[in-house]
Structure 1
Amino acid sequence: MAETLVAPLRAFGRDDLALAGGKGANLGELVRAGFPVPDGFVVTTRAYDQAASELDARLFDAAATSGDGSAVREAFATVAISTELRTAISRAYEELGGGPVAVRSSATAEDLPGAAFAGLQGTVLNVVGEEALVDAVRRCWGSLWTDRAIAYRHKRDLDSAGVRMAVVVQRMVSAETAGVLFTANPVSGERGEIVVDASSGLGEAVVSGAVTPDHYVLDAEGRLKRWTPGRREVVIRALPEGGVQRVEGEASADPTPLPAAVLGELAGLGTRIAAHFGRPQDIEWAHADGRVWVLQARPMTALPPPPIPLSSVQRTLGRTLLEYVPVRPYPLDMSTWVPYGPVGQMARIVRSLGFRVGPSDVFQEEDGVVVRLVPVSPRPTFDLVAAPFRLARRALGYDPQRWMDDPRVTRLLKENDALTKLDLAALPWRRLMRVPREALALVEPVGDVRLDYFPRAILSLGRLLALLVVLRRTKLVGDLLLGVFNKTTESIRALRELADEVRADPALAEAFATREPAALVEALSDDPTFARFGEKVRAFLAEYGHRETETPILVTPGTWVEAPETVLGLVKVLAQPAGANGDGGAGEVLKDASDGYQRAVEEILTHPRLRSETRRARVRRWIDAARVGLAFREDTHFYFTKPLPVLRRSLLEIGRRLSEAGVLREATDVFHLRLEELEAIRTMPPPTSDAVRLRALVRARSAKRDELAGVPLLNPMLVYGDSAPDGDALVTGLPAVGGRVTGTVKVVRDPSEFGKLESGDVLVCPYTNPAWTPLFQRAAAVVVDTGGPTSHAAIMAREYGLPTVMGTRNGTTVLSDGQRVTVDGHAGRVTPAAAKEPASAA
């Protein structure tokens, strides 16, 4: 077979990728297994090599380097076809009957797990005549060099020089109905469901997205579970003389679904094909003259893991996970900050209470890549019996009011400062490789501090809640805990001071009003006019720059000190005058936390059961202790994350050196490796065998991550349900903070967009963390895709009195910038604003 230019489909099987390409190998395998595949032949990769040898080799090198393949495509369009190849194509075409055929590309890097190349390479339908067939083969060869295909190969780290193109030629099926079949639900991941998209005419209309297809969800036996009629905006039909015709708008006023017999046949074929290949399949099919044909089969990509049932406890935990893990962890996260950072420390706290749980229970991995989050239900152990005694001993011995005096905290700050001052670029390789472990070692003592001091903090909060239950004043708990001073509120005050400076300086005010945060960073570095303010920003970053930008539980997303534009975006927001956009500003909807706290204290202390001064003094101490406990949680997190910047910088320096040595394409590729895999590198540059192994790991894990790019770590429907918005609601979610506000939507998807928010806007975001808190001073309301009433966003929004809806799942996609909406925090609904409805709050 190695010398074959043209051969029948049946001559190939799944192992013939190098000669028949992905599509040809898969179709040949199906023919051999007896599936209904239109007869055909393959113009093999040897024919491509023969034609390519006629072209200037420099064209291919230039295209691979520049990403522009137009010269290669033009050259293939007129390339000379050898007599041997032309004769072989002619003979195969004649044996096929000489009628209309479908000509499809079949590259050696196509229709593979994690690399589908869907729609990136050529297909020519309803080809009639030998000369037209040869031209179609040339077009498919050239389609290997479309700009999109080159970019896709580069993204997947596939060497263009090593990719070849075969061409599949099959009898044309003039379909009455055609489409795509998935042997698992591509949205939910349910393996027991089959999804079929169908429309009239050739399946190209469905595959290309030119039509809204009929959508069927079947059970494994092919019984219809759900059907959504399509719109048939376009129908593509084969013409008798060759080529295809696009017919606009054949929508039926009364559409009918495919017959049950056809759906059953599709389901049966799909199930058998998936079983044959051993994994879920993406299948193109056609129905003509009462028969179903299989036109293509390839592994499903971007398929979510199978759904799992969640208990009420798991759903509650899932809301927190969705908020705190907005991005997929890398292998480097999983081997560094995840087991040592907040996730690992929370697992330690849970274990100290007598339960069994660990980070590996939450993050499920396949082939070294996190595929999903699983909210766990902690399992009790025998240690649960002794846990109350351990907690009592800690509660008696460790007072949260004095935790900053603990020598473990002093040691953390001193040793972290020493690590931060290291010139990482100048360190020898072996010394550099010790820095990540040294940074991680700083975390554990602070974790011990949290374990020791938390019991009294929790008891203080519990004692206050019990008091409020006895006094029947539980509604005051939120107000009593408002305005607690901690490192987060301290950083917000520091940001407000920077914003005050901006407002007071006309040059700064103009710069912040007219420039984006990235341009402001450049100006503060280069423009002497802003030198003094630049120094203040650097001082702010020296104190608070270790705060996370996206999530506190991963190291790969980075911190404020590496992204000063995030900080300047916050200053830009805070420097705006209240009500700048005419929508009423935050000042009209915020309530003063201090006043709310004082009113709540006064109401408690004037309770009839607290007549004596002794009792009132005791209750004051209890309230103060609860507030200290609340601040302790936030402040320990602040210090707990101090080693993050030096950890991240050391890992990136390792990546930079591996990139310089040619092991990685770029420094951030190091994220795809585990720390222990890096520690195994003893010399720089590493031996060739190590370099090859590491490159292969990065390539495989990168492809796996790319395949999962559109797959949520945790399906929000499992956590929030799948109910549609009711009535006139645009989106609905969980009521988190009461009140009703009308304002203008501003979608802020990540910290790089902080500067978009204007005073009085409705902040719509996918998640929040403490870094987002300053935005709440200018927002009129908050709408979040993830989280629940007890999440960070809800707690902070409650302090600012902002109507808040959590867990909308899709607020950032349904709502858009400039849209006027009304947010009802009591009902958990976001509705279109009435035409003349002014900004309001209640």
Structure 2
Amino acid sequence: MKLVAPLNAFGREDLAMAGGKGANLGELVRNGFPVPGGFVVTTHAYDLVAQGHDTRAYFERVEIPGDLREAIIGGYAALGGGPVAVRSSATAEDLPGAAFAGQQDTYLNVVGEQALLDAVRRCWGSLWTDRAVAYRAKLAIDDSEVRIAVVVQSMVEADMAGVLFTANPVTGDRTQLVIDASSGLGEAVVSGLVTPDHHVIDASGRTHFTPGRREVVIRGAAGGGVVHESGATAERLPDEVLKELARLGKEVAAHFGRPQDVEWACAGGRVYLLQARPMTALPPPPLGRLNPMQRRLATILLEYLPERPYPIDMTTWVPHGPAGLMAKVVASFGVRRAFDGFLREEDGVVYQLAPPKPHLTLGVLVAPFSIAAGARRYNPARWTEDRRFRGYLAGIRELAARDLGAMPWARLVRVPRQALALVQPVADLRVDYLPGTGWALLRLLVVVKLLGRGRLFGGLLHGARTRTTDANEALARLAELATSTGALGADPRPAEFESAFQAFLAEYGHRETSSPILVSPPTWADAPETVLGLVKVLAAEPPARKKPDDTLERLLGHPLLRSRARRARMRRWVAAARAGVAFREDSHFYFTMPQPVLRRSLLEMGRRLRDAKVLDKPKDVFHLRLEELEAINDLDALTGKDRERLRDAVRARAVKREELAGVRLIDPALVFPVRETGDALVAGSPASGGVVTGPVKVIREPSEFGRLDAGDVLVCPYTNPSWTPLFQQAAAVVVDTGGAGSHAAIVAREYGIPAVMGTGRGTSVLRDGQVVTVNGDAGTVTGAP
């Protein structure tokens, strides 16, 4: 139970005793890095004094016990009794994902025994400032589990000081080092009081320099404390110091195994390291230029990934759901590695979307023959008659009917694999029936172009009857019923509406709210408020009835299609193309049916782990990997060590996820390059023609569906089939992601509203209420009076 010990008594494993800062500094000292001498007032000393108290006022007046007082004074004497820096070192700071930068106190140029004791007290108390408590709450860190140590070091009266990042904090480039420097103590740089000199050192050693402004210089005062001086000479950091900092930075990063944020000081030409902690909120490394195939893949994946996957996603629905299905389909045509490793993880959390480079095999050469054979054998219009599909539905009904709550743990933990195994037949169905779909669409496209009617192609596909169409019409009927029964303003809702609502959820409730390739987001049944939001939108102003589509009749009016036989053949070809479109939509609809069973089984495990005091709430199970759950053979037999290991994993991944909340998985400009737009506010791919002017309404997630008003220009980050009912009310749609073949584009064309896809930045540029003109032919959004 050490109360005070020198820095070299600690290493990175001593977090609980020395706090994050003390443990990291001790690790540096032990490994020969130039760190000013010092000692740590440990967390045991804090516990001795705290005795259950958790207010700043208590610590500022508490009497330090005699033996602890003498130990602190003894450590101070061993340093020579001169000026020291006194820094807080909490057990939940300077960690991966939780920097706690500036949350606890630091006191510089502390002189004298009494001043030192006062500074230690204030550091203890800073654990309980409003900002520190709020920061911990944001990261879901329990106050009762946090302790604080205090680091005391000889003061370095720096000529220049600052911060060294061993990776570029803006671009994420791990090959660059960034050094910020200014005159005097580094506090001016760290606190943002000064615009520092900025050095970027690239992989070749070249330095790119931007001078600072030296607005203020902080120096130690003669009797203790610091003074702020205005102005300073524009002395630049010597080249030899830059080289030394670069060398030390690389060695520190290599030692800790990750990019580091290092505070440093230079006095008399000698460099000292004052602090090292993992860099947080670091963007993923730059991917470089994407080739056209990678951009196309990224367009699809971005639309599928509106939010960061959890570890449970990465071990369940990501590899086995639609992404895994697509990989299997393209592999059957000779394209390998189309979806391999497209999500990169760090500390168990996804940090980057990296579109892979597909690899063509010799199978590509025989693909045309296998596609032709498949097109002849498998008719997309009859795919639901396939015995594999009927068996698939029977398997889902059987699994969904099981009482998960009554299952013993040993059976429950097997349900996820059973749900994932169910989806494999649908992948086989896609492989078999897609050739017929592709052939039907290609044949129709070629024919209408040869007839000089290529512009009619999209309209000819609109008559396809899909499960998405069924869901949208059922929603419209619900909206009519809600209006006639006054259901939306009633509590409880009328029985007639409630019965119809539950029937709707039973039929369509497995639809995703945000992503079809993740299991963690709720479905419509899990989040019925999403459906009610759609009902509210449709009930506010019933959608106008669509005019009968006469595209086919216009095509049949072509002079070369006057004979009865040719007209009949053309009708068959259009029907086949529509059947292909329906197959694409409906196979997706049915493919996602096992997802709710999978999600319910995981949450049931989460509830039991919460009851066993392993998790704080059931949804924390999403921070675990499936294999970690499967490793729990008997929940009641979990040892204390096992429980702590699972809790630590969940806590660390939750903190890392929170750290990355503002970091994008991929730079949208790589996928949707910014192009010359003239006077346009944003531009993208033209996806559905027409020109409309209206007010912007930015809808970022399904919970905001109810905010859309009839005639609004819907601006959103992504879409999926769950969003399409909104298109009945929107005047136009502008989407950050997606292309002309995405769900949003197809449905926009069906409803005859302009659509601009792949803007990359529409939701960040456009604002609610802003009046804009959407040109779906040109792919532009411009300001309007």
Per the normalisation by structure 2, the TM-score is 0.88
- Which residue is equivalent to 1:773? 724
- Which residue is equivalent to 1:53? 48
Q: Which sits farther off after the overlay, 477-486 or 673-682?
A: 673-682
Q: Which secondary structure does the structure 1 equivalent of 2:328 belong to?
A: helix
Q: Which secondary structure does the structure 2 equivalent of 1:144 belong to?
A: helix
Where in structure 2 are there 5+ consecutive unaligned residues? none
Residue correspondence of structure 1 range 3-402 to structure 2 within 5 A: 3=2, 5-7=4-6, 9=7, 14=12, 17-30=15-28, 37=35, 39-45=36-42, 48-57=43-52, 59=53, 69-70=54-55, 73-90=56-73, 92-93=75-76, 100-146=83-129, 149=132, 163-172=146-155, 179-197=162-180, 203-204=186-187, 206-208=189-191, 217-221=200-204, 223-225=206-208, 227=210, 243=225, 266-286=245-265, 294-309=273-288, 310-357=290-337, 360-366=340-346, 368-402=348-382
Quick one: distance in 2 between partners of 1:231 and 1:486? 64
- Which residue is equivalent to 1:493? 473
Residue correspondence of structure 1 range 503-518 to structure 2 within 5 A: 503-505=483-485, 507-508=486-487, 511=489
Task: Supply the AA of the counterpart residue of 1:378.
Answer: P
Quick one: distance in 2 between partners of 1:812 and 1:263? 41
Residue correspondence of structure 1 range 551-570 to structure 2 within 5 A: 551-570=515-534
Question: Aligned-pair distance for 1:166?
Answer: 2.3
Q: Which secondary structure does the structure 2 equivalent of 1:138 belong to?
A: helix
Q: Which secondary structure does the structure 1 equivalent of 2:394 belong to?
A: helix
Quick one: distance in 2 between partners of 1:812 and 1:546? 28
Q: Which secondary structure does the structure 2 equivalent of 1:77 belong to?
A: helix
Question: Aligned-pair distance for 1:747?
Answer: 2.2
Instruction: Answer whether contact 2:413 2:630 (CA < 8 A) is retained.
Output: yes
Instruction: Answer whether contact 1:221 1:268 (CA < 8 A) is retained.
Output: no
- Which residue is equivalent to 2:618? 667
Instruction: Answer whether contact 1:482 1:594 (CA < 8 A) is retained.
Output: no
1:632 to 570, 575, 583: 583
Quick one: distance in 2 between partners of 1:232 and 1:818? 43
1:712 to 661, 664, 669: 664
Quick one: distance in 2 between partners of 1:639 and 1:363? 25
Residue correspondence of structure 1 range 521-540 to structure 2 within 5 A: 523=490, 526-527=491-492, 530-540=494-504
Quick one: distance in 1 between partners of 2:267 and 2:690? 59
Instruction: Answer whether contact 1:767 1:787 (CA < 8 A) is retained.
Output: yes
Task: Supply the AA of the counterpart residue of 1:558.
Answer: P
Task: Supply the AA of the counterpart residue of 2:446.
Answer: A
Q: Which sits farther off after the overlay, 26-35 or 476-485?
A: 26-35
Quick one: distance in 2 between partners of 1:756 and 1:199? 49
> 1:679-732 deviations in whole A, cap 9, x for unaligned?
3433342332654554454345444444444433333343234x5986665544
Quick one: distance in 1 between partners of 2:480 and 2:162? 61
> Relative to structure 1, is the Cα distance of residues 148 and 779 closer, same or farther in structure 2, using a 3 angstrom cutoff?
same
Question: Aligned-pair distance for 1:346?
Answer: 1.4
Q: Which secondary structure does the structure 2 equivalent of 1:560 belong to?
A: coil
> Relative to structure 1, is the Cα distance of residues 201 and 777 closer, same or farther in structure 2, using a 3 angstrom cutoff?
farther
Quick one: distance in 2 between partners of 1:29 and 1:790? 55
Q: Which secondary structure does the structure 1 equivalent of 2:93 belong to?
A: coil
Task: Supply the AA of the counterpart residue of 2:333.
Answer: L
Per the normalisation by structure 1, the TM-score is 0.83
Q: Which sits farther off after the overlay, 546-555 or 297-306?
A: 297-306
Instruction: Answer whether contact 2:688 2:776 (CA < 8 A) is retained.
Output: yes
> Relative to structure 1, is the Cα distance of residues 234 and 417 closer, same or farther in structure 2, using a 3 angstrom cutoff?
farther
Instruction: Tell whether 2:568 aligns with 1:617.
Output: yes
Task: Supply the AA of the counterpart residue of 2:51.
Answer: D
Instruction: Answer whether contact 1:19 1:44 (CA < 8 A) is retained.
Output: no
Q: Which sits farther off after the overlay, 483-492 or 441-450?
A: 441-450
Question: Aligned-pair distance for 1:201?
Answer: 6.8
Quick one: distance in 1 between partners of 2:359 and 2:521? 31
Task: Supply the AA of the counterpart residue of 1:540.
Answer: F
Quick one: distance in 2 between partners of 1:773 and 1:163? 47
Quick one: distance in 1 between partners of 2:405 and 2:305? 31
Quick one: distance in 1 between partners of 2:772 and 2:190? 36
Instruction: Answer whether contact 1:744 1:762 (CA < 8 A) is retained.
Output: yes
Quick one: distance in 2 between partners of 1:434 and 1:32? 47
Instruction: Answer whether contact 1:372 1:713 (CA < 8 A) is retained.
Output: yes
Quick one: distance in 2 between partners of 1:683 and 1:276? 39
- Which residue is equivalent to 1:416? 396
Quick one: distance in 2 between partners of 1:102 and 1:820? 56
Task: Supply the AA of the counterpart residue of 2:750.
Answer: E
- Which residue is equivalent to 2:438? 458
Instruction: Answer whether contact 1:746 1:763 (CA < 8 A) is retained.
Output: yes
